[in-house]
Amino acid sequence: MRSAQDTSALIRSLAHEAAEEEPSQGLRFNRLLMLAAGFSLLLSIALALGVFGIRPNLPAVLAGAPFLFKFATMLLLAAGGLALVRRAGEPGTSSSGWMMLIPGFLVLAMGLALDSSGFPLLGRHGGAVPSCVGAIVLLSLPALAAGLGVLKRGVPVQPLRAGLAAGFLAGTIGGAAYAFVCTNDGAIFVAAWYGLSVLLVALFGAVIGRRILVW
Amino acid sequence: MRATRSGNTGAYEALLEDIGRTLRVLVGRKLSRLGMGTDQTEDIVQEALLGLHMMRDRWDDSRPFLPWLHAIVRYKIGDAMRKRSREARHRCDVTLDELSDVIAAPDPGDRHMPDMDRALAALSSGQRDVVSSLAIEGQSVRETAERLKTSEGAVRVTLYRALQRLTAFADPGPGYARKGKS
């Protein structure tokens, strides 16, 4: 059992330490988070193109509506994810960042409503679903590591939620990167399997976050 | 906190004292509402202050301080209370194990280790890690801090509190005397 005098002694030693140590310099949490997200997106795109190969008609694909739909949806959701991670790593900010996900989901819903291609849910060939989900999860791992790393330098007061947010952000970044090599152009395919992949990475992030983000 | 940033140590001490006073009332009330003994109040207050201290550089001074402080302190207190209720169970297990160890010990000459284990069991798990790393494995403060992923300052503070608890254990008050100690 400690006494109040004891706490005063502790406070004095902490104040002493604060006076001796230089305040640690470094990038602010926000800036760091933006940098980490940007770099991991570029890295994942490079990885996707490196592993799956650059299609000869890539410029045409990148100008096409299906790619733009996939990429825009994922980027908008990633922007919402960024806002969530930012809130998770800075205590005292309002906790309801879920509104930031609305634009991404709106575009996704619009794509679903406007899609009349009749593209099969399970993709062009039998292996489409596992390869798509597997690829997105793998492509999101750099972003997940970066996101959790940045959160460790912030002040996460809800480790599980912070991990969930980092996982969501990473999953959407992986999805955005995979869009460069994805040949399945149906909105339903994107909603179902990109969605599942993002969910998986988000849950993974939550599990890890709960372990490593406590302090 | 702004004054602290510009190097005013006195302001920092006053701030911590202030927060400590408020927390003491708050934590005491919370503990008694949960039906736990209030004798842990001061420990929990110290844990919260320590957490605040370790994160002090991460506060963005373009943002309001109070909401930030509030969120951190709530997290630390919640964490400390959860740990208490978990450790209460854990510590009971350890005692039983040791009891059987002592009973089964064939060599009464080797009294040193059980005594040490028993003393260490009086510490919280974090304190035990620090003490065994520094005193038993003989590592330096820096190595210990790196291994436990915390700052050197935090290791020193933990050690300081652990030593206080060990002193209290080695010099028990009335009614705490152990049998068989010659």
Pick the residue with more confidence: A118 or B57? B57
Q: Considering the domain B105-182 in this protein, what is its CATH number?
A: 1.10.10.10
What does pTM read for this prediction?
0.72
| Neighbour-count burial of A214, counting CB atoms closer than 10 A to its CB (0-12 exposed, 13-18 middle, 19+ buried) | exposed
Answer for the pair B16, A11: CB distance below 8 angstroms, yes or no.
Answer: yes
* Residue range B152-170: mean pLDDT, rounded: 72
Using a CB-CB distance cutoff of 8 angstroms, which residues of chain B are in contact with residue A18? 4, 9, 12, 53, 56
* pLDDT tens, position by position, B36-78: 777 777 888 888 888 888 888 788 777 788 888 888 888 888 8
Pick the residue with more confidence: A142 or A116? A142
Tell me the two tokens of residue B111. Answer: 């009294």
Closest chain A C-alpha to B72 CA, distance in angstroms: 6
User: Helix or strand or coil: residue A180?
Assistant: coil
Contact: A91, B160; criterion CB under 8 Å? no
- C-alpha B39/C-alpha B70 separation (Å) is 23
User: Helix or strand or coil: residue B80?
Assistant: helix
Contact: B17, A13; criterion CB under 8 Å? no
Q: Could you say which architecture CATH assigns to the domain B1-86?
A: Orthogonal Bundle (1.10)
Closest chain A C-alpha to B98 CA, distance in angstroms: 23
Q: Find the CB nearest B17 among A2, A8, A30.
A: A8
Using a CB-CB distance cutoff of 8 angstroms, which residues of chain B are in contact with residue A11? 13, 16-17, 20, 49
Which long-range CB contacts under 8 A does B153-160 form with residues at least 24 apart?
B153/A14, B153/A17, B153/A21, B153/B53, B153/B54, B154/B50, B154/B54, B155/B130, B156/A13, B157/A10, B157/A13, B157/A14, B157/B50, B158/B126, B158/B127, B158/B130, B159/B127, B159/B130, B159/B131, B159/B134, B160/A10, B160/A13
Does the pLDDT of residue A205 top 50, yes or no?
yes
Query: What is the reported pLDDT for B99?
Result: 58
Closest chain A C-alpha to B130 CA, distance in angstroms: 16
Using a CB-CB distance cutoff of 8 angstroms, which residues of chain B are in contact with residue A7? 20, 24, 42, 45-46, 49
Query: What is the reported pLDDT for B175?
Result: 40
Query: What is the reported pLDDT for B23?
Result: 83
> With the C-alpha atoms ordered B10, B13, B17, B18, is the resulting torsion angle positive or negative?
positive
pLDDT band at A30 (very low <50, low <70, confident <90, very high): confident
* Residue range A140-169: mean pLDDT, rounded: 92
* Residue range A36-55: mean pLDDT, rounded: 92
For chain B, say whether A3 makes contact (Cβ under 8 Å).
yes
pLDDT band at B134 (very low <50, low <70, confident <90, very high): confident
Using a CB-CB distance cutoff of 8 angstroms, which residues of chain B are in contact with residue A3? 42
Percent of chain A residues past pLDDT 90, beyond the cut: 41
- Alpha helices, DSSP H, located in chain A: 4-20, 29-52, 58-63, 65-89, 102-114, 128-152, 159-178, 187-189, 195-212
- C-alpha B8/C-alpha B15 separation (Å) is 11
- C-alpha A70/C-alpha A178 separation (Å) is 9
Tell me the two tokens of residue A137. Answer: 């999860």
The domains of chain B are located at: 1-86, 105-182
CA distances from B145 to A157, A173, B180 (A): 22, 34, 38
In the A/B pair of chains, how many CB contacts fall below 8 A? 104
For chain B, say whether A12 makes contact (Cβ under 8 Å).
yes
* Residue from B5, B15, B46, B176 to probe the interface with A (highest A Cβ count within 10 Å): B46
